[in-house]
Structures are given as C-alpha cells and as structure tokens.
Homo-oligomer: A and B are copies of this chain.
Amino acid sequence: MYAVKAMPRPRSLTPAQLADAALAVLDRDGLTGLTMRAVGAQLGTSTMALYRYVADRDELESLVVERVLDGVDMRPPADGPWPDGIRELVDRVRAAVGAHPAVVPLLPAHRHRSPGILRWGEAALAVLTRGGFAGTRRVVAFRALLAYVVGAIQMEHLGALAGPGTAVIAALPRAEFPLLAETARAAGAVGPDDEFGGGLDLLLDGLARQLDG
C-alpha cells in the first residue's frame, strides 16, 4: 500500500460546500425542490458528480440536517436549575430549525442516524441526570421530552394553531367543531413562543413533580 504509483485528481468540492448548496436549494425551493439536479446546478457541476460525495438522495438529506444542526451549541448548560438547562437546549434547536423550516419534515426520519441529534440527546440526558433522573425514570423523561420537541416543532412549522393555520380552523363549521373554532380564536392571542414554551413548561412541571413525589 505504501508504494502508490499515482494519485488521482483531487476532489473539487468539500462536503461542507455540498451541504451548503443543498441547504440553499432547500431554503429557496422547499423540500420538493431539493433534487439532485437542482443541487448540481447550484454547484455548477453535473448531477452525477454529487454521487462521488453521497451514496444517494437520502444521504444528501442527512448532510442538510447535519448542516442545520452544526451551528447549535450542544454543550449542556452546567449551572442553574435543571429545567432551565432543558429549556435552553430546546430553545437552541428550535431556533436553528426555525431558521430553515423546510428541514422539519426530514427530522423524524433522520432522528436515529444524525450525529447532531444524538449529541443533543446526550446533552439533554446530562441535564436530566444532573437534575436527579436515573434508570427507568430517565428513559421515560428523555423520550417524553424528545417526543414533545419533535411534535411541537412540526406543529409549529406545518401551520400552528397560533399563526396562519389558525385561520383555517377558525373557518370550520361552528356547529360541528364548536370547541376547535373557539380555541382557534383564542389562539390568536397566544404567540408561537408562548405556545411552544408553555407546553414545554407543562412537561417540565410534570417532571419536577415526579422528582418530588
């Protein structure tokens, strides 16, 4: 292996450039616009050149997810009450994802393989552990937190009740969905941050109560 006869042409792209280009396409044209051809055009290369960097479209999506999560500070906040630490961690991913809403549909599918999401999980577990959670309780707490965050972020970017989506529901047949219509109207006074944070607080309160009891 040490006596290599010749070295090939060096790569003209970095994975980071590829990820940036794909993210740019995603931000501009949405998830349906994220095609191999579009990313190739964005980079000024052929479509097939991308396959020297990723095995398939799925891997390209992974690259995008990772790129969005790259800017997130994944260090667990070390001081302060543990619920504040969780809130901080949650807010960081929420902000990062909010800057690129089109990645939202990709998150559930890439949840297992994404190093970024795994690092976030590790940080969240560190905070929970510091708060006193261990064993089965920690498993359930962690999963509940993840479920809420995943669900709430999706709700937020697929038409929140507080937001443009409200109008749709407010126009529902009153007779059939009286409570939904009423709730949709009341939701106008609740901002996305209050909605997201309020739900998280409910979960954190439940966790705190479990620690006490």
A146 sits at the interface (CB 8 A): yes
Which of the candidate stretches A63-71, A92-100, A192-200 sits at the interface with the other chain?
A192-200
Contact A155 B148 (CB under 8 A): no
A125 at the interface (CB under 8 A from B): yes
Q: How far is the CA of A180 from the CA of B74 in the complex (A)?
A: 14
Chain A: interface size category: 35 or more
B-contacting residues of A (Cβ < 8 Å)?
105, 108-109, 111-112, 118-119, 121-122, 125-126, 129, 135-136, 138-144, 146-152, 154-155, 158-162, 165, 168-169, 172, 176-180, 183, 186-187, 189-190, 194-195, 198-207, 209-210
Q: Give complex CA distance A210, B122 in Å.
A: 29
| Docked CA distance A201–B143 (Å) | 13
Q: Tell me the interface secondary structure of chain A in the complex.
A: helix
18 residue pairs bridging A and B, Cβ less than 8 Å apart: A118-B172, A121-B180, A122-B176, A122-B178, A140-B190, A140-B194, A140-B198, A143-B152, A143-B155, A144-B198, A144-B199, A151-B151, A151-B154, A202-B203, A202-B210, A205-B205, A206-B207, A209-B209
Beyond known contacts A118-B180, A151-B152, A202-B210: 16 more, CB 8 A cutoff: A111-B159, A112-B168, A118-B172, A122-B178, A125-B179, A125-B180, A138-B186, A141-B202, A143-B152, A143-B187, A144-B199, A147-B151, A147-B199, A148-B148, A150-B150, A206-B207
